[in-house]
Chains A and B, each alone.
Chain A
Amino acid sequence: MNDLQTDFLKLVDRYGGLIAKVCYFYSVDADDFNDLRQEALLNLWKGFPSYRGEAAPQTWIYRVTLNSCVSYFRRHKRRSSAASSIDTVPELIADGADRATLLRELYSLICRLDKTDMALILLWLDEYSYEAIADITGMPRNTVASRLRRIKEKLVEYSQNS
């Protein structure tokens, strides 16, 4: 195994939680989650040799993982509904029962948003500044601010209705 492969495995080991968390919110069931995480890891590996550390690793991982989720061409396979339910994913990825419950609760709200809105709210929840979000998403800062305001209103509405 060469240095590049070793460094990549270290990166996945360190930020595996972030990748899993983002992929979970974009998935419709457990099989989909596995496909999406594989897709994100593949894209990260493809881009890893050209990643020169200009952005923080977490920001780069966020960008590639979100891009993988947004551009993902879903394959339609026959799935066994019980084993493939999205409810089974938090137990697989979370490191504690309370975090699994939390993941499930947040999923029920965030999964209703469209793909780009989901990316915006995930970045905002992870304390990225409006400028950083604008850079990652390619939107003007003011658009980020106004869209986030609308998204927050929607989430409040969803939580009241659920």
Chain B
Amino acid sequence: MTPEDLKKKWAHLRNFQSAPVNADLLNDIIYNRLTTTIDRLTARYRRITILGFVMALMMVLMYFSGSGHSVFSGYIPLEFAGYFLLCSLIDGYLWCNANRLDLNTMPIEEIATCTRRLRLVHLLSMVIIIPFAVVILIQLFGTANFYTRLGMIAGGTVGLAVGLNLLFQTLRDYRTLTHH
């Protein structure tokens, strides 16, 4: 098929009327009952930015005041503070950039480049953050007593299941990214 054949076939599709969009969906849209995926993503990045910053601050305060559970001994609170600060910074970067996307005025190439970069940063941040968290948790395990360790094992099992699920989701995302 030549490009001109393609164009001829396409001409049959010009101005075609599709089946009407579901009326309930249109009502939800015009009465602002739905949000876009970018809005949801931006809100999530904003939440993690603020939460990460607050947690980092709390960990620094915990270190200098010497309060908190006995497992938070030595430099562990400072390591946690570093971890939360890193999460906050990465999500802050993603939040600012996702917030700048204006689908009404920005050209397609710019949107494509920006979203590709955001996805890449998102994936790379997970590659950095997950091993960082594992190292801190191993250290925490070393300083914990028997019952705290049991609690950590239970929490770790659940965390591992959630983490694996997230990992597979990320791999699927990456496949989609490389496919299109």
Contacts and interface: CB of A to CB of B under 8 A. Distances in A.
A71 B13 contact: no
B7 A119 contact: no
Most buried by B among A19, A60, A73, A76: A73
Interface residues of B, number: 45
Interface string B11-22: 011111111110
Given A95-B17, A106-B6, A156-B3, A38 B25 contact: yes
Given A42-B36, A68-B103, A17 B15 contact: yes
Contacts of A114: 180
Interface string A109-134: 10000111011000001100000000
Nearest to B40: A73
Contact of A71 (B12, B29, B38, B176): B38
A71 B25 contact: no
Interface string A27-61: 01000000001110111011100110000000010
B108 interface: yes
Nearest to A68: B103
Contact of A106 (B2, B10, B14, B109): B10
Contacts of A46: 36, 104
Contact of B109 (A43, A126, A138): A138
A83 interface: no
B169 interface: yes
B34 to A, nearest CB: 6
Contacts of A43: 36, 103-104
Nearest to A67: B103
Interface size bracket, A side: 35 or more
Contacts of B114: 71
Contacts of B109: 116, 137-139
Given A41-B26, A43-B36, A156-B2, A137 B20 contact: no
Contacts of A63: 103-104, 107-108
B66 to A, nearest CB: 43
The 8 closest A-B pairs by CB, nearest first: A138-B107, A47-B104, A159-B1, A20-B18, A67-B103, A125-B10, A152-B3, A93-B18
23 contacts: A1-B30, A5-B30, A16-B18, A17-B17, A19-B18, A21-B13, A21-B16, A38-B25, A41-B25, A41-B29, A42-B36, A45-B30, A46-B104, A66-B108, A73-B41, A75-B37, A99-B16, A105-B9, A106-B6, A116-B109, A138-B108, A155-B1, A159-B1
